[in-house]
Amino acid sequence: MADELGTTEREIIAQRLKKAEALRALGVNPFGNGWQPRHLADELLRRYGDQPAEEIAKDPGDWSLAGRVLAVRSFGKAAFLRVRDRSAELQVWVKKDRVGDQAFEVFKLLDIGDIVGAEGPATRTKTGELTLEARSFTILTKATRPLPEKWHGLTDVEQRYRQRYVDLVVTPGVREAFVKRARIVSGIRRFLDARGYLEVETPTLHKPEEAGGAAARPFETHHNALDLDLKLRIATELHLKRLVVGGLDRVYEIGRIWRNEGIDRRHNPEFTSIEFYQAYATHEDLMRLTEELMHQLAVEVTGGPVVTFQGQAIDLTPPYPRVSMLEVGARALGLAPDDALAGRGLAEALSRAAARENDSEDAWKLEQAAKKTPGEAVALAFEIFGEPQLPTDRPAFVVDFPLETSPLSRRRDADPRLVDRFELFAAGMELANAFSELNDPADQRARFEAQMRAKAAGDEEAMPYDEDFVRALEHGMPPTAGEGIGIDRLAMLFTDSASIRDVILFPLLKSRD
């Protein structure tokens, strides 16, 4: 085994390339194919558990494993390897008198990071570790570039994201986080499929007038053959509701969304969401469905209803408390809810709130809110003052959204100034957004027109006027409720990840240049 300490990476690569040639000279293709393991490491671990060596010796089996070498302890004519496959890590014992001279010559060309194959019986060493005692051994893939030094790994966080293929190998817990993320997605699918939902796919390339469904700025592109300007979708909502019009009463889509916005620990321009729509349901029905889904996912993915996020235990056992955006937002401004929605004393209240706000960006937002509608100003006050006060030990539903904040939501019959909508918050993050859908085409047309006026006034996140969607509503959409959930933030919660980049395999990063 070569001592790679103090050697430059270029020299290490040169040494490893020479070893690859030496393997070829021994008749071993250093980048071969066709060697298939018959077992996984966790099969041995589950088969033998804590059995002592004498019990294992009664039925040691004939095991066949392949994986990446993470560590080597060499003792001349024998060595212990730490090998990881897709299921677990296991020790492999390579002895010259067991594998033979030829295989041991192959072993001597081994480096940490190589991918190897070994076959043989199970045993337990004198130190008590379950081990595969190799009867045959070979190098399947030569790693010509070394892994980071084992005691330091990838200490540069940005390098971890740029070289995720290395991060998955050397950083503890990374692989497990993405396994959990996959279990979240499959768990959601099972949950909805069991309730009669149909999974569908809708376009990711939208014509400019179709790129709606959320308050966000889209990415733009161009189709050369059709000479057509297009935008990447910012939501799946409007196409899914078209399908409800067409008679697909329960539909969902899990897919990528693109929004041309800033990057921070909770936002990535490319992310994954699920949206689902259910005819003959209300937002109240979806609250109960969401509680059930969150609880079931927590149990399936983490083993119980209580998850820990950044040191805070969060109990996902239903029911969840409800917090009024209108009441909390108005109270934060020192106004009664009716006065705030009517705009009475609102400008003065916003000015006072801005003056006492320590955060300069929030102070500026409060000053600018005087130019917005009263409902938008109340929503901003809730965002700044109310969200930090939401419960930390359990999720909470935020309800009572002003009409102006929700151009696609149904007006509340009991108070048309509000809409039938909720957002789910947990761990200080918005995880879900849902509402009873607006199915009145005249009302929808009027709200699109209001969005166009906002766009003309400079709001780059205002929705376009989608006339085809209004036409679809004119054909009749049944009473419907719909919801969107951010998969990435859900994965953050269930994997105790402080940054969204920790749950996206390849997050968007600035160029090194």
Sequence ranges of the domains in the chain: 9-147, 174-320+413-502, 322-390
For residue 343, what are its two tokens? 């705009």
Q: What local confidence, expressed as pLDDT, does residue 151 receive? A: 42
Q: What local confidence, expressed as pLDDT, does residue 254 receive? A: 98
Residues 6+ apart with CB under 8 A from 242: 469, 472
User: Dihedral (C-alpha) 69, 74, 77, 83: value to the nearest 10 degrees?
Assistant: -20
For residue 15, what are its two tokens? 């040494």
Residue 286 near residue 481, CB atoms below 8 Å: yes
Rounded CA-CA distance 477/280 in Å is 10
SS3 189: helix
CATH class of segment(s) 174-320+413-502? alpha beta
- The tokens 């045959």 sit on which residue? 136
Q: In 10 A of CB 501, how many CB atoms?
A: 23
SS3 122: strand
pLDDT tens, the chain, 513 aa long: 444 445 688 999 999 999 999 999 999 999 999 999 999 999 999 999 999 999 999 999 999 999 999 999 999 999 999 999 999 999 999 999 999 999 999 999 999 999 999 999 999 999 999 999 999 999 999 999 999 875 455 667 888 999 999 999 999 899 999 999 999 999 999 999 999 999 999 999 998 887 787 888 999 999 999 999 999 999 999 999 999 999 999 999 999 999 999 899 999 999 999 999 999 999 999 999 999 999 999 999 999 999 999 999 999 999 999 999 999 999 999 999 999 999 999 999 999 999 999 999 999 999 999 999 999 999 999 999 999 999 999 999 999 999 999 988 999 999 999 999 999 999 999 999 999 999 999 999 998 998 889 888 888 888 889 999 999 999 999 999 999 999 999 999 999 999 999 999 999 998 876
Q: What local confidence, expressed as pLDDT, does residue 328 receive? A: 98
What are the E-state strand segments in 214-354? 220-223, 228-232, 250-258, 270-279, 306-309, 312-315, 322-324
Rounded CA-CA distance 257/241 in Å is 17
Rounded CA-CA distance 120/103 in Å is 14
CATH architecture, range 9-147 = Beta Barrel (2.40)
Q: Which of 192, 219, 186 is nearest to 205 (CA)?
A: 219
Rounded CA-CA distance 202/244 in Å is 13
Q: Which residues pair with 267 in a beta bridge?
A: 264
What is the residue type of 300? E
Rounded CA-CA distance 492/335 in Å is 36
For residue 116, what are its two tokens? 């190897």
